[in-house]
Amino acid sequence: MFRKRKGIAWALKFLNEAGIPAQVRTKMDLLEVPEIVELIAMLRVVAEPAANSAWVRLLTGPRWRIGNRDLAIIGRHASSMAYDARVQGERGLETALEAAIAGGDIAENTAYGDAIADIIENGNPDLSKAAFNRIKNLNHEVQYLRAQAGDPLKHFVYRVASVSGLLIESISEPNRIKRGMDSNLRAFFSLVSDFTALDGESNLFALLRWIDDSRKHDTAIEIASVAHEGAVQLITVHSSKGLQFRVVGLPQMSEGIFPVSTGSDNWVTSPWVVPYELRDEEMDLVLKRYPIRGRELTNEDIEEYDEARKLADSFEERRLAYVALTRAEEMVFISSSAIDPSITKQRKQSVFFNEVLESAKLMETAIAEGLVRIGAIYDVVPVKGEKIQVVETGEWPIELKSPAIKRIQDSANRVKELMQNQSVQAPSASTMVNEWDKAIKAIEREIKLHDNPTRFVPLPESLSVTQIQRLAQDEESFVANLIRPMPTEPAPAAAQGTAFHAFVEHWAHEAKGGSVTATLPDMENMDQTEPERFDLPTLEKFKETFRNSIWAKSVPHIVEAPFAISLGGYVVRGRIDAIYKDGDIYTLVDWKTNSSSNADTLQLAIYRLAWADSLNIPLENIKASFYYVARDETVTPETFPSREEVIKLLLGS
């Protein structure tokens, strides 16, 4: 458990080097895990030919193994291409603008992706034959994936992991399985599955922007991953609130780390921090009254404010230390070290470390009975004028000659031999391998049932109304899909329903002279463009039925109204098909194109709560109905689940 997230990356590196399985628990930490960094690098080169750092990572990695000499040749080729583009003819307006956007010289636009494509097409006599074959295969892979980039995002990311070999690598060695490489990949797939940008986009470019913004703003989001037995869970103190663990380790209890030396974010200097005056929670009265309206602050005011803020920060750090210590059910290890490679001076033990040590020393009886153990404490005597020199040295790119890499390469060569000899094509051998596969899968299922009789899966922080309905109808199936999302088969009825919703929206838009805002794309021509997806006579019948229905006699106040409501700490999002207004009374209508009158009233209940909250009006002023267009039938439930009942469903209580 760490006070700051950067300690997690430090621990993950050294635990892996020591052969100790370790697992991260938040999105930001997941993005720094080697296999996820590798996957993101592959996504970047697919999206951006000029993502040079990603290209270099792939080229020098364990799969493509481009050495120093060949990498330098590729780099010179890219620079030469950029130079040729700069000197050819006069620099026109378009070229000048491109250079300006890039930040200056056109050489900054040097793209390894373009250089590799040019080498493959025109050759480079200096490049080794092995390197040429490897970059040719890499380029072929990237081109193939670019052609698939229009697929649904979660399917595309899974395809990239599969094509790049990361999926098979994650289960190729016991060590990789043990440290949770496969789980990390699946946790990332889950994040991608839940991803939707603020502007509604859900494509590769939006995903990469989201990853960059997450790193920039250091956002921490819990990930829905399964904890591996025997793996050290690496988390921050903040993300441990409300949890308890049998054994807790608290490293880095050093001055400047825990407690931190920088203090909390200050609204005076950080624009994203809410001013104290606008906060709802209890806090120091001195801080609460700043800024003082109507007069300019004096030096005395500033000193008073700074002192109060430092005091508040110290209380917050002490509260966090209490949280950290009380997360342990049976045992807590606390350590501090003087040497920190990130700074040039020695650190002292933190005040919290010293206080715990003194408290432990007072527990003489507990020490005698072996309930409390105190490790060796070393006094550090700094030498005046000297600095700590902890420098890691090595060769870059890394020489890939580790035993693990050699085993993988030997296995790959053996597979190639078998394929060339066609040994695996023999019917008897094929049957034997199939039987092995069945036996292995059966054993895996038994192990999973034995080791994981109960699995706790957190809900995403943001949910759609449809997801909540699925949770209420079949909790087990909903949770299983959270752990391992599966693609759904396209349903013709869904396309038909979408087309009908679009028809009603455009009908309302025209009926009000264009004053109703349209939110769906123009689907009037969907009959002609996608006739195979649904039954056209049925859609035309739906349109005619609606035109003669009670709902067509008046024009909706709003159609396709988006909303977001907070329920039990979760954000629930959705759209209300149509809202009719009669004085102070609102009627919410959801169009249904299925033939059975079996819709869940939970959907309308959430709609009513969201609309009441958005307008700050009583629920009694809001009616809600389902309209089944296939039956020309309006169903208005007599009662709806209450806010408390919806929250109880979300909290699982």
Q: Tens digits of per-residue pLDDT, 356-378?
A: 888 888 887 777 777 777 777 76
Predicted pLDDT of residue 41:
92
Beta bridge partners of 566: 571
- Decide if 202 contacts 153 (C-beta within 8 A): yes
Residues 315, 263 within the same domain: yes
Q: What is the C-alpha separation between 258 and 316, in angstroms, rounded?
A: 11
Instruction: Say which amino acid occupies 255.
Output: E
Predicted pLDDT of residue 100:
45
Residues 275, 183 within the same domain: no
> In terms of residue numbers, what domain contains 57?
25-217
* Domain end marker among 312, 342, 368: 368
Residues 178, 86 within the same domain: yes
Assess if residue 415 is contained within a domain. no
Residue 109 has pLDDT above 60, yes or no: no
With residues binned 3-state (H G I as helix, E B as strand, rest as coil), the percentages for the chain, rounded to 5, are 50, 10, 35
- Decide if 538 contacts 497 (C-beta within 8 A): no
Assess if residue 226 is contained within a domain. no
* Domain end marker among 345, 368, 391: 368
Predicted pLDDT of residue 420:
78
Highest mean pLDDT among 415-419, 449-453, 504-508, 509-513: 504-508
What's 94's domain CATH number?
1.10.486.10
Average of pLDDT values for 252-269? 78
pLDDT category, 435, cuts 50, 70, 90?
A: confident
Domain count across the chain: 3
Residue 537 has pLDDT above 80, yes or no: no
* Domain end marker among 337, 368, 399: 368
Predicted pLDDT of residue 221:
54
Within 76-218, strands assigned E span: none
Return the higher-pLDDT residue of 197 and 593: 593
Predicted pLDDT of residue 527:
36
Residues 52, 168 within the same domain: yes
Residues 212, 253 within the same domain: no
Assess if residue 437 is contained within a domain. no
N-to-C CA span, the chain: 29
Six-digit token string for 383 = 């030498």
- pLDDT tens by residue, 132-161: 999 999 989 998 888 888 888 888 888 898
Residues 510, 579 within the same domain: yes
Average of pLDDT values for 422-430? 56
The DSSP code for 632 is T
Residue 522 has pLDDT above 60, yes or no: no
pLDDT category, 525, cuts 50, 70, 90?
A: very low
Residue 247 has pLDDT above 80, yes or no: yes
Share of the chain above pLDDT 70, in %: 71
pLDDT category, 411, cuts 50, 70, 90?
A: confident
Residue 450 has pLDDT above 60, yes or no: no
Six-digit token string for 454 = 């109960």
Residue 13 has pLDDT above 90, yes or no: no
- Decide if 339 contacts 254 (C-beta within 8 A): no
Residues 520, 620 within the same domain: yes
Highest mean pLDDT among 234-238, 379-383, 567-571: 234-238
Return the higher-pLDDT residue of 65 and 202: 65
What's 623's domain CATH number?
3.90.320.10
Assess if residue 18 is contained within a domain. no
Return the higher-pLDDT residue of 386 and 615: 615
Residues 296, 159 within the same domain: no
Q: Which residues lie below 8 Å from residue 447, measured CB to CB, with a gap of 6+?
A: none
Six-digit token string for 551 = 């709902």
pLDDT category, 289, cuts 50, 70, 90?
A: low
Residues 192, 282 within the same domain: no
Assess if residue 296 is contained within a domain. yes
pLDDT category, 511, cuts 50, 70, 90?
A: confident
- pLDDT tens by residue, 213-222: 777 766 555 5
Residues 213, 260 within the same domain: no
Average of pLDDT values for 307-314? 80
Residue 536 has pLDDT above 60, yes or no: no
Highest mean pLDDT among 1-15, 19-33, 432-446, 614-628: 614-628
Share of the chain above pLDDT 90, in %: 10
What's 334's domain CATH number?
3.30.160.800
Residue 390 has pLDDT above 80, yes or no: no
Average model confidence (pLDDT) across the chain: 76
Residue 580 has pLDDT above 60, yes or no: yes
Instruction: Please state the pTM of the whole predicted model.
Output: 0.50
Assess if residue 470 is contained within a domain. no
pLDDT category, 426, cuts 50, 70, 90?
A: low
Residue 331 has pLDDT above 50, yes or no: yes
Assess if residue 577 is contained within a domain. yes
Residue 295 has pLDDT above 60, yes or no: yes
Residue 624 has pLDDT above 90, yes or no: yes
Residue 339 has pLDDT above 60, yes or no: yes
Backbone φ, ψ for residue 579 (5° rounding): -125, 120
pLDDT category, 523, cuts 50, 70, 90?
A: very low
pLDDT category, 516, cuts 50, 70, 90?
A: very low
- Which of 157, 161, 166 minimizes the C-alpha distance to 207? 157
Residues 112, 181 within the same domain: yes
Q: Which residues lie below 8 Å from residue 265, measured CB to CB, with a gap of 6+?
A: 272, 273
Beta bridge partners of 623: 587
Highest mean pLDDT among 96-100, 208-212, 244-248, 439-443: 244-248
- pLDDT tens by residue, 170-182: 776 666 666 667 7
Assess if residue 521 is contained within a domain. yes
Looking up tokens 């890939």, which residue turns up?
A: 400
The length of the chain in residues reads: 653
Six-digit token string for 467 = 């997801």
Residues 212, 259 within the same domain: no
Q: What is the C-alpha separation between 248 and 1, in angstroms, rounded?
A: 7
Average of pLDDT values for 49-62? 86
Residue 106 has pLDDT above 60, yes or no: no
- Which of 600, 633, 598, 503 minimizes the C-alpha distance to 559? 503
